[in-house]
Structure 1
Amino acid sequence: MNSLLPKVLPAALVIFLSVLLSGPVVARDLFRAVITLDGQTGVNSTNSLSEVGELFDESALLALFPTADYVPGFTAFEVALDLRGVASRVSYAENSGDLQFEVVVAGINLDFDAATRDLSEEEFEDWLKGNGSQPSTSEDSVTLLLQAFVKDSPVDPIAGNPNSLQSRMFQNDFGLGSLGPFLGDFPADADKPSSLWKLDLDFGYFAAGPYSGETYDFDIAFGWQLSRRLALVTDLGMTFSVDEGEALAGIGNFGLGLQGRISDGWNLALVVRGGVAGSIDVGAVGAMVSVSLVNHMRFDFSQYRLEMSNMVGVTTTIDGIEIEDIRLDYDNLTNVVLKNGF
């Protein structure tokens, strides 16, 4: 076995370095504005939702277009605004303080019509945080944008990608249903099998579309035997991610379930779970509940063993969660997931 190390280690090192070094090549900020003014084009970006309005405010335009024929509060300009993967458009007409905002994929077309452009940009930022109160913007309009994030953004903390709350909840359900006192052998004359526990600490790097980041995971799980055919299983999972080296997001979820032994090598687990996710930088906050049924089967072939797990689960959002000044409504976002593994 030792003779294989000189061959395996260089290949492993090459794979590790290729993954580690691939991030900066494609990475870019979560919120990116391409501004067109007086026939000139400038680019500005940030990794914080609270700074989106500053990408194209008066001071930013003066810095980006020092030679342009620009009169603050008067000159028309347009912005192609990328909101963490969702394309949108911001524009001001000549001699107007109205901020026009459009997201074609979400069917959003809004007019923030405050007295000045600065005030319109403040209204726009408040709307992005779910706090829009002006008559021209309904509460449902920001929900359409949130649903577009879930569908198209590769870094949404709530749903739609492997690092989201929804994916983590189902992943933990699947793992919890595949862990327990009944999955191994125990003597036929034993009163009950032994209890089990598991502790995981993981670090990961991801590249999703033009974005990259790191994840830090902590998971702890327990399985307590209640009888020879019934066990209580529970776990707690926490994830912290850092997108583009700046945008911090946190995810936490707790699961509780019952695992039953149907026969030797065949177990079923019913798991209920609740979770929360939030990020002031990314501009997302939400909570979810889920119910999953996990089937685990073991097949022994002489000295070999094959294990198979199947899961069906459903999850839905709990609206009304708030972090600082961000309060968003996903309108009972519901998904059903099927998962299989060997």
Structure 2
Amino acid sequence: MSLCLKSITAVFLTFAGTFSAVSVAQAQGANVVTTNFNTVDEAINALGTSTYQTINTGYTETSKATFTFAVPSETLTLRYRTDNTGVALRDDTGALIARFNAGDRTASEAELMAFLRDRYAKDTEALKLKVANTPSDPVAGNPASLMSQMVSASFSNGTDVGPSPLTGGDRARGTASYNHLGISLQTGRYSGPGFSANVTSLPLSYAFALDDPRWAVKINAPLNFTTINGQDYVSGSVGVGLRMPVTENWSLTPELRVGAVRDGNSGITAVLANASLMSNYRLDLKNGYGLVFGNGLTYSKSLNSSGTSYGLSNTINKNGIELSGPFQHQLYGLPTNWQFSVVHTVVGGTPTYIDEWTDVSLSLGTIGSKNGVTWDSVRIGLTYTRANRGVEGLNINFGYEF
């Protein structure tokens, strides 16, 4: 069946799967032409004459046309009249939502696109699609996101294994029986297909022992400055954990953590809450060598903030091993050692674009020790990250604990 100018054109923008894609399709007799998009925003950007003519070469800016724009939360209809420059937007009952008439179809469509972007900027299903299908979301879906940074902070705080150069008072010399404060600086870059991110993090930590020094309250609060694909974000979190001894060499640390990230471009402040259980099992080997096994299970859930929720519900598994050994130099009169670790992360639950990565870390510094009434430890480290979907990262870590 041929379609001539000013014919009625039916174009459908709909989701190909629950979280997979947005598509544009047109029925032409028995044939259906489909173009897939990863996000709602990509589908909105495709509205207009150039896309419509790709589907139907007979379409012009004076054609009569009807389009259906369907997202998981609702179905809308766009209607154009013959020789009319405006476009009407209606809901699934046919009721008018808004009419756009800016003098020509291109200008009218620009107003329509702005309206739809605002309509879906805080739509939960649209946000889920972005997390699942793109690497650029600041909340989840990549190693630079809030979710990833929160889980990494909890893992380091509870296991003392991995990229963080802070000791937390649990490494080679055993459990500290006094309070200590730590500050770190971590900066690095991630890159991959369609993704680049710069991250600078300032983690603060504080631990104080209880009457039984094997028990301790551990507080960790990183502040992160992140640029993802040219967009700047500020995020942070606060976690409070309780170190509980199981055996002489084994401790468990349950932790609760809340974090937030501000997206100044969309005006969205996203909030996540995590509940974690971390395990630290330490073996003191001969000649100053040590081995630490770290395991962590975290449940992360997005909370409603300013009427917005990402609708995320994820379980994150992190497992790592760290080997340490003596280094034949002193720093500030203190003995030094090296620490080498490998930590693997897997994200389950709500689909995320990047859901698996491995961190390989090497750090050098002083062995945490009691010096008067203080805990002195200075460390510098380097971390290489390899994630699925071709993403890689390199971070430099510096920490001082006293």
Q: TM-score range by the shorter chain?
A: 0.5 to 0.7
Given candidates 110, 115, 125, the residue that maps to 1:123 is 115
Which residue does the alignment assign to 1:340? 319
Counterpart Cα distance in 1 of 2:113 and 2:43: 18
Structure 1 residues 98 and 144: alpha-carbon distance in aligned structure 2, compared to 1, 3 A threshold: farther
CA deviation string 1:40-61 (max 9, x = no partner) = xxxxxxxxxxxxxxxxxxxxxx
Q: 1:205 to 1:100 in 2, by over 3 A?
A: farther
Structure 2 residue aligned with 1:169: 150
1:103-252 correspondence runs (5 A): 110-111=76-77, 113=89, 114-116=99-101, 117=108, 118-130=110-122, 142-179=123-160, 180-185=168-173, 193-226=177-210, 227-245=212-230, 247-252=231-236
- Structure 1 residue 253 corresponds to structure 2 residue 237: yes
- How far 1:198 sits from its partner (Å)? 2.1
In our comparison, the structure showing a higher alpha carbon Rg is 2
Aligned residues of 2:281 and 2:292 also touching (Cα < 8 A): yes
2:116 is paired with a residue of what secondary structure? helix
The superposition leaves residues 152-211 of structure 1 with CA deviations (integer Å, 9 ceiling, x where unpaired) of 110111112111111111111100002433444359xxxx71323321112212213223
Note the alpha carbon deviations across 1:117-144, whole angstroms, 9 max, x for none: 15423311311323xxxxxxxxxxx322
Alpha-carbon distance change, 260 to 80 in structure 1, aligned in 2, over 3 angstroms: closer
Contact in 1 for aligned 2:144/2:197 (Cα 8 Å): no
Inter-partner Cα distance in structure 1 for 2:140 and 2:213: 38
> What amino acid sits opposite 2:48 in the alignment?
S
* TM-score, structure 1 normalization: 0.62
Preserved CA contact (<8 Å) 2:38 2:129: no
Structure with bigger helix share is 1
Q: What is the CA RMSD across the aligned residues, in angstroms?
A: 3.2
Q: 1:146 to 1:220 in 2, by over 3 A?
A: same
C-alpha separation between the residues in 1 aligned to 2:138 and 2:318?
Answer: 21
1:136 corresponds in structure 2 to: none
- Say which of 262, 266, 273 aligns to 1:289: 273
Contact 2:68 2:75 in 1 (8 A): yes
Question: What residue number does 2:291 align with?
Answer: 306
Contact between 2:138 and 2:233, CA under 8 Å: does it hold in 1? Answer: yes
What amino acid is the match of 2:319?
N
- C-alpha distance in structure 2 between counterparts of 1:203 and 1:338, whole Å: 24
* Percent of matched pairs sharing the same residue: 22
Deviations 1:61-97 (A, max 9, x none): xxxxxxxxxxxxxxxxxx9977699666423574489
5+ residue gaps, structure 1: 1-78, 131-141
- 1-side partners of 2:297 and 2:111: how far apart? 48
Q: 1:305 to 1:183 in 2, by over 3 A?
A: closer
One-letter amino acid of the counterpart of residue 337, structure 1:
I
Task: Note closer, same or farther for the CA distance 1:233–1:193 as it changes in structure 2 (3 Å cut).
Answer: same
Give 1:309-324 correspondences, 5 Å limit. Answer: 309-319=294-304, 321-322=305-306
SS in structure 2 at match of 1:293: strand
1:155 and 1:161 in contact (8 A); partners too? yes
Count of residues in correspondence between the two structures: 241
Whether the aligned pair in 1 keeps the contact of 2:159 and 2:295 (CA below 8 Å) is: no
TM-score w.r.t. the length of structure 2 is: 0.53
Q: Distance in 2 between matches of 1:250 and 1:230?
A: 33
- Greater Cα shift, 250-259 or 207-216: 207-216
Preserved contact between residue 181 and residue 224 of structure 1 (Cα < 8 Å): no
User: Any gaps of 5 or more consecutive residues in structure 2?
Assistant: 1-34, 53-60, 79-88, 90-98, 102-107, 161-167, 322-402
**1:8-67 per-position Cα deviation (integer Å, ceiling 9, x unaligned):** xxxxxxxxxxxxxxxxxxxxxxxxxxxxxxxxxxxxxxxxxxxxxxxxxxxxxxxxxxxx
Whether the aligned pair in 2 keeps the contact of 1:218 and 1:237 (CA below 8 Å) is: yes
Residues 270 and 291 of structure 1 are in contact (CA less than 8 Å); yes or no, is this contact kept in structure 2? Answer: yes
Which amino acid in structure 1 is aligned with residue 151 of structure 2?
A: F
- Larger strand share, 1 or 2: 2
Matching residue's letter, 1:243: I
Residues in 1 aligned to 2:152 and 2:184: alpha-carbon distance in whole angstroms:
14
